[in-house]
């Protein structure tokens, strides 16, 4: 009887853990603030390779770490524009030397000599504004479901759009017909930054379309930076990516800046 109860206990424990893991793969639980003590429930998935054969990717990683502190010396920190004092807290993100991705974006842009940048997740426009202030980009295409000027505070200004260097698209790229609508913008972008909702479903669907499209239609190299890959809803997605990839722990976002290279040279 005791043996049977132990066996039932093991089965129930396994069933419970499987359901908890499946739940955490798709839903986020976090306590966040803007002062460096944010906490997020996450999952840990094993990462391993049996060979390391992409020399170009490892050279890129080495150059990122080598240049990061050099680029920091000339980094310009934009400030949020708002009539609400509470919104000023967003400036704290841009002051961080590590634990955020803003300086990292500039370093990557400079190394690959990017001309066209595509961003998923405009939000308050911090990443886009950082690029406009720190790098001679030709064009930024930034996507969101909410216009940049509908927030209580924003880093962007109307004059940024008047230059023609940046365009915001209010669309959902996880929908196939929408993704197809922007094939040209995606094709022309040499650097894609994905900082979307992290709700599992969006990233899973969008990345499926994106990888398939780039593999079949893009010549040359595309660099992708996927944000928050350590979060509960992103771990499994990150693990499933079958391209040269690495998490830039030291110089990236505390929640995981995942660098991916698609090279069809």
For the chain, how are helix, strand and coil distributed in percent, rounded to 5? 45, 20, 40
CA nearest to 127, candidates 116, 138, 145, 142:
142
Supply the pTM of this predicted model.
Answer: 0.93
pLDDT at 132: 98
The DSSP H or E segment spanning 118 is strand 116-120
pLDDT at 31: 78
pLDDT at 37: 62
Residues of the chain with pLDDT below 50 are none
Q: CA dihedral defined by 66, 70, 79, 203, rounded to 10 degrees? A: -10
Q: How far apart are CA 248 and CA 68, in angstroms?
A: 12
Centroid of chain to Cα 161: 23
> Locate tokens 């050279």: which residue?
59
Q: Which domains does the chain have, with CATH numbers?
A: 2-47+64-264 (3.40.50.150)
pLDDT at 34: 59
DSSP classification of residue 51:
-
């Amino acid at each position: 009887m005791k043996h049977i109860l132990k066996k039932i206990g093991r089965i129930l424990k396994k069933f419970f853990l499987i359901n908890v893991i499946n739940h955490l793969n798709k839903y986020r639980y976090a306590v966040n603030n803007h002062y460096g003590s944010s906490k997020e429930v996450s999952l840990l998935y094993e990462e391993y390779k049996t060979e390391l054969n992409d020399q170009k990717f490892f050279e890129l990683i080495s150059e990122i770490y080598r240049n990061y502190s050099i680029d920091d010396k000339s980094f310009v920190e934009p400030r949020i524009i708002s009539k609400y004092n509470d919104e000023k807290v967003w400036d704290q993100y841009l002051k961080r030397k590590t634990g955020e991705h803003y300086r990292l974006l500039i370093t990557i842009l400079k190394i690959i000599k990017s001309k066209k940048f595509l961003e998923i997740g405009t939000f308050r426009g911090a990443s886009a504004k950082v690029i406009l202030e720190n790098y001679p980009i030709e064009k930024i295409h930034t996507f969101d479901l909410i216009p940049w000027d509908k927030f209580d505070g924003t880093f962007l200004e109307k004059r940024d759009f008047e230059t023609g260097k940046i365009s915001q698209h209010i669309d959902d790229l996880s929908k196939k017909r929408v993704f197809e609508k922007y094939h040209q913008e995606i094709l022309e972008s040499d650097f894609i930054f994905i900082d979307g909702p992290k709700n599992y479903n969006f990233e899973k669907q969008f990345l499926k379309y994106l990888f398939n499209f780039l593999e079949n239609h893009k010549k040359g190299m595309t660099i992708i930076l996927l944000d928050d890959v350590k979060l509960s809803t992103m771990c499994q997605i990150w693990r499933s990516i079958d391209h040269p990839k690495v998490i830039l722990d030291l110089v990236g976002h505390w929640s995981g800046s995942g660098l991916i290279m698609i090279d069809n040279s």
